[in-house]
Amino acid sequence: MCIGKARSRGCLTSFYLGQCEESQPMRIGQYEFKNRIFLAPMAGITDQPFRRLCHQQGAGLTFSEMMSTNPDVWHTEKSKLRLAHHHEIGLNAVQIAGSDPTEMAEAAKVNVAYGAQLIDINMGCPAKKVNKKMAGSALLREPDLVARILSAVVNAVDVPVTLKIRTGWDQDNRNCLEIAQIAEQSGVSALTIHGRTRACLFEGQAEYDSIKAVKQAVSIPIIANGDITSAEKAKFVLDYTGADAVMVGRGSYGCPWIFKEISAFLAHGTLPIISLEEKSQLMLKHIEDLHQFYGEEKGYRIARKHVGWYVERLMPNSTFKRTFNALETTSEQLNALENFVKSL
């Protein structure tokens, strides 16, 4: 069962008080964060409006959607939207994906030039279209290539470089410990591990023994990811693995307040009271921000999935999701959403 050397440059920068602090809960490179609760980079999910909302709800660090190393797409409208940052989000952390060391290094430099303050490398995505290009979790089968990519990116930019992986390609090839040691030797500043292999996709339950073993074997910060769906689960995973932080992915769908819950539970051992009205208002604000960010043409389509997740949380047996998905204008969606909130 599979169960970096971090580079610090200059003054320690705090991302909650705006000044240098002597000791704080979590550090990556020269940056310190307000807590140990991070939002995972998720394609089609972690756009600017959602990252901003999760940061406001207590996420210590959020990551952009995955960016390709293909230079042909860097300047497209889609890429510009994915890279859009806002000062209220905190640190500008951008995730990149690819398989060529030179292209990855160049992509990192371009993103830093655009304002990225941290580069995260994706070696965990299980999607077939990504793996077919030998990117994402497919790279776990090529440790030598992993080493070349990590070294190329770390040496190309003057910001912290982090890595996100799975425990291995499949049950018989769990090599997260080997990859972690390569990452540490390459100068990677922190490592996130999703407690599943690529073959597992998102099925079954995440396992944390692999993450625990890696934490005990390397000195760089380890971030535990996989099935962090409640404050109690976040505390269990932190305690069990000894990880330096937890990363919330699907647990944040329709539930951005999970960061507030985890933060309070870790600090005081109790859950905050978040009223149905407060949750409803967060949903409304999120969808309003989505429409403003994407515009009339795209906003209504992107809003549908988020509203579906919110409705499942707020009123699981409601038929409102079906009604909402039939609406195709900003005004129709917002009016329907306001009426839905009044009915709760």
- pLDDT means per 10 residues in the chain (344 residues)? 37 47 68 95 94 96 86 62 70 93 94 93 84 82 96 98 94 92 98 93 92 98 97 97 97 98 96 96 96 92 96 93 94 95 90
- Considering the domain architecture, whether residues 214 and 338 belong to the same structural domain is answered as no
**8 domain-assigned:** no
- Considering the domain architecture, whether residues 224 and 307 belong to the same structural domain is answered as no
227: amino acid identity, one letter: D
**Residue holding tokens 């329907």?**
336
pLDDT value of position 95: 94
pLDDT value of position 262: 98
- Considering the domain architecture, whether residues 37 and 140 belong to the same structural domain is answered as yes
**Residue holding tokens 């709800």?**
57
Instruction: Give the residue numbers spanning the domain of 289.
Output: 276-343
pTM: 0.89
pLDDT value of position 169: 87
**24 domain-assigned:** yes
- Considering the domain architecture, whether residues 255 and 305 belong to the same structural domain is answered as no
The residue among 268, 284, 307 that closes a domain is 268
Is the Cβ–Cβ distance between 229 and 209 less than 8 Å? no
- Considering the domain architecture, whether residues 117 and 257 belong to the same structural domain is answered as yes
pLDDT value of position 20: 35
Which residue of the set 11, 20, 54, 125 is catalytic?
125
Residue 125 falls in the annotated catalytic set: yes
- Considering the domain architecture, whether residues 57 and 93 belong to the same structural domain is answered as yes
The tally of domains found in the chain comes to 2
- Strands (E) in the chain, as ranges, are 13-14, 26-28, 31-33, 37-39, 61-68, 93-97, 118-123, 161-166, 190-194, 222-225, 245-248
Rounded-to-integer distance, Cα 243 and Cα 195, Å: 12
pLDDT value of position 33: 94
**6 domain-assigned:** no
- Considering the domain architecture, whether residues 223 and 324 belong to the same structural domain is answered as no
pLDDT value of position 70: 72
Rounded-to-integer distance, Cα 81 and Cα 61, Å: 19
pLDDT value of position 66: 86
Helix axes 101-113, 143-156, angle to 10 degrees: 30
Q: Could you tell me how far CA 140 lies from the centroid of its own chain?
A: 19
Q: What are phi and psi of 84, to 5 degrees?
A: -55, 130
Tokens representing 151 are: 């070294």
- Considering the domain architecture, whether residues 154 and 295 belong to the same structural domain is answered as no
- Considering the domain architecture, whether residues 207 and 242 belong to the same structural domain is answered as yes
- CB count, 10 Å around CB of 324? 22
Is the Cβ–Cβ distance between 71 and 106 less than 8 Å? yes
**2 domain-assigned:** no
**335 domain-assigned:** yes
Tokens representing 159 are: 């910001």
- Find all residues with CB under 8 Å of 164, minimum gap 6, and list them: 40, 41, 95, 120, 121, 122, 123, 124, 191, 192, 193, 194, 225
